[in-house]
Amino acid sequence: MEKFSKLVEVVAALRDPETGCPWDSQQTPQSLVANFIEELYEAVEAIEDKDDKALKEELGDLLLHIVFQAQIASEAGAFDMGDVLKGIVDKLIRRHPHIFGDAEAKDANGVKMNWERIKKEEKKDRDSILDGIPRTLPALIKAWRIQEKASSVGFDWPDLVPVIAKMDEERYELSKALESGNLDAISEELGDLLFSVVNLARKLNIDAEAALKHTIDKFYRRFRYVEAQYQDGDIHEARLEELDRHWEAAKKQRQIQ
């Protein structure tokens, strides 16, 4: 596309050591990481808010970072934007043999299994099908991806009954750990319970990360309502029963549900 080529040209001009921008020309792949992550989260926020105008802008910012990284790599002789584009096009064709080849995939689950199988064949340096998940992923997303990868080889419960039973089991084990007062055991059992909750969300095809974010936002709105009741007083002096009464009132307000 002409517009994409123009972006590549602009970034190259900004990086010119003699005539380019002093800030842009000094950046390294590492120095851009924090901004890259920030732009990604801003794009996610725009998606969650269903804000098309903001998403259009944030996708542009993300694209800028991708082109920027490719430009720096090109200057170092490692690869260029053309290599990046060729790589992803080739990967998409290889990993969709049901579209571009003779393989079959009856549903989305079959597509995922094909993808993971082909990926494992390509990544021969990996010892496990669970390898390749970024270490720095948020824990809920990482739990989902690990479970999803295990599921791709059939290591998964067929329905919700054993998933819910496992949650009940983990909840019971947590209660026993709480009775013991052993913090290490409590931490381990709490982690097991959270992992089983993510598994339930995955089986229901509910994004656990998005669901938790929704609850956090709901808590924030309701707590702000509670705080608003103390504009002329000190919330720190309020009794729990009083705070809870305002909380229940907040739950009944439609605009803050």
From the CB of residue 193, how many other CB atoms can be counted at a distance below 10 Å?
A: 19
Nearest residue to 39 (alpha-carbon basis) of 53, 29, 54: 54
- Looking at the domain assignment, is residue 163 inside a domain? yes
Do 202 and 222 fall within a single domain?
no
Q: Are 200 and 171 in contact (CB under 8 A)?
A: no
3-state secondary structure the chain: CHHHHHHHHHHHHHHCCCCCCHHHHHCCCCCCHHHHHHHHHHHHHHHHCCCHHHHHHHHHHHHHHHHHHHHHHHHCCCCCHHHHHHHHHHHHHHCCHHHHCCCCCCCHHHHHHHHHHHHHHHCCCCCCCCCCCCCCCCHHHHHHHHHHHHHCCCCCCCCHHHHHHHHHHHHHHHHHHHHHCCHHHHHHHHHHHHHHHHHHHHHCCCCHHHHHHHHHHHHHHHHHHHHHCCCCCCHHHCCHHHHHHHHHHHHCCHHHC
The span from the CA of 110 to the CA of 104, in Å, is 8
Do 189 and 226 fall within a single domain?
no
- pLDDT digit string (tens) for the chain, length 257 residues: 899 999 999 999 999 999 999 999 999 999 999 999 999 999 999 998 899 999 999 999 999 999 999 999 999 999 999 999 999 999 999 999 988 988 887 788 778 777 877 877 888 788 888 888 988 888 999 999 999 999 988 899 999 999 999 999 999 999 999 999 999 999 999 999 999 999 999 999 999 988 999 999 999 999 999 999 998 889 999 999 999 999 999 998 865 65
- Looking at the domain assignment, is residue 97 inside a domain? no
Last residue in a domain, options 206, 227, 247: 206
How many domains, in total, are found in the chain? Answer: 3
Do 133 and 168 fall within a single domain?
yes
- Looking at the domain assignment, is residue 120 inside a domain? no
Structural domain containing residue 193: 127-206
* Per-residue pLDDT at 113: 77
Do 45 and 31 fall within a single domain?
yes
- Looking at the domain assignment, is residue 81 inside a domain? yes
The span from the CA of 89 to the CA of 183, in Å, is 50
The span from the CA of 115 to the CA of 221, in Å, is 41
Query: What does the radius of gyration of the chain's CA atoms come to, in whole angstroms?
Result: 25
* Per-residue pLDDT at 254: 66
Do 131 and 199 fall within a single domain?
yes
The span from the CA of 15 to the CA of 240, in Å, is 58
Do 178 and 157 fall within a single domain?
yes
Give Cα separations from 196 to 109, 140, 154, 166, 209 (angstroms): 20, 11, 17, 7, 14
Q: Are 166 and 199 in contact (CB under 8 A)?
A: yes
Do 202 and 214 fall within a single domain?
no
> What would the two tokens of residue 201 be?
């969300």
- Looking at the domain assignment, is residue 138 inside a domain? yes
- Looking at the domain assignment, is residue 121 inside a domain? no
Do 8 and 81 fall within a single domain?
yes
3-state secondary structure 157-174: CCCHHHHHHHHHHHHHHH
Return the CATH number at 172: 1.10.287.1080
Do 201 and 215 fall within a single domain?
no
- Looking at the domain assignment, is residue 191 inside a domain? yes
Do 227 and 190 fall within a single domain?
no
- Looking at the domain assignment, is residue 143 inside a domain? yes
Q: Identify the residue whose tokens are 């002409």.
A: 2
Do 183 and 139 fall within a single domain?
yes
Do 191 and 220 fall within a single domain?
no
